Amino acid sequence: MNYNAEEIASIIDGKIIGNPKVKVQSVAKIEDGKKGDLCFLANEKYKNYIYTTKASVIIVNNSLKLDNKIKSTLVVVNDSYSSFSKLLEIYNKMKFNYVGISNYTDIGQNTKFGDNIYIGSFATISKNVKIGNNVKIHPNCYIGENVTIGDNCILFPNVVVYHDCNIGNNTIIHSGAVIGSDGFGFAPNKQNNYKKISQIGNVEIEDDVEIGSNTTIDRATMGSTIIRKGVKLDNLIQIAHNVEVGSNTVIAAQTAIAGSTKIGKRCMVGGQVAISGHLFITDDVKIAGQSGVANSINKKGAILQGPMAFNIKEFQRSYIIFKKLPEIYKVLTSIQKQFNE
């Protein structure tokens, strides 16, 4: 990054207070800011740092009221957090703006590439693959046969995409993720052994999805496992065969969703949640971390918590009683003793 305050203000539609020509080369937290750094202040809790930081430029909200003079140049906006996020996105794209195909890449027949792509060393691109414009495929990735990857996608090192899967535009997949591995399908036979059921479906990932490191999304037995537009998946998530995750749903780490469950739009799922198979979860549902969901959730906007999740307020009231069980037991024992006497 090499911008001056005036250029930054034009990108985020901000107003400058201070020197419009001061330049920044990097970004930092406001408490660690030094000359040449760009910082932001969104939380009033950190306001005192604005008087001590050595950062060259600070993005602030227009509601900020200064009590003392400051040395930094300010860029005043309506929402400093979202404006800073926009700049970070630009910075990140510049940082990973690699172009070209490594000589150590294995490329199959009938593969079609868009413009301005990057494929790193020791990546494997199988036959009949279609890759869009501005795609970045980092070293050691594997792309199976007949895969389609849309525009502006980033696949970080060691991502695996099995055959016949489709990835939409603007999707980011982090290291170690596996897209399209076989679903967990086995049928017992007369000898009490398990016979594998072939998984002949695929995975469909729509636009603007982000998938965390070491997350696995299984291919469908038949049809598709579907990740809808705008979904954000954390690290270490297991999504089983024929699951559908609705648009703009976010799921935290170590969550597991069993086969054929359908999750609605704009849901929020906490870490280490377990969701049984063949369920329906409607839109705008929130599930607290370490909850277990064994039944469908049909109430829009429901908030659930618990090992066998139920209404969060009822769970919290129950938990208060649970913590008092030793005291309640002591009282009951005393009453029983008096009764016996």
Among 246, 255, 222, which residue's Cα sits nearest to residue 300?
A: 246
Q: Is the dihedral of CA 76, 77, 81, 86 positive or negative?
A: negative
Domain 3-95 = CATH 3.40.1390.10: yes
What values do phi and psi take at 87, rounded to 5? Answer: -65, -40
The residues annotated as belonging to the active site are 241
- The Cα–Cα gap between 124 and 153 comes to 17
- In this predicted structure, what is the pLDDT of residue 1? 67
Query: 266-280 pLDDT, tens per residue?
Result: 999 999 999 999 999
What values do phi and psi take at 303, rounded to 5? Answer: -120, 120
Annotated domain spans of the chain: 3-95, 100-315
CATH number for the domain running over 100-315: 2.160.10.10
Amino acid at 130: K
Mean pLDDT for 184-194 is: 90
- In this predicted structure, what is the pLDDT of residue 88? 85
- The Cα–Cα gap between 75 and 325 comes to 56
Among 277, 167, 266, 257, which residue's Cα sits nearest to residue 215?
A: 257
Mean pLDDT for 230-246 is: 98
Predicted TM-score (pTM) of the model is: 0.84
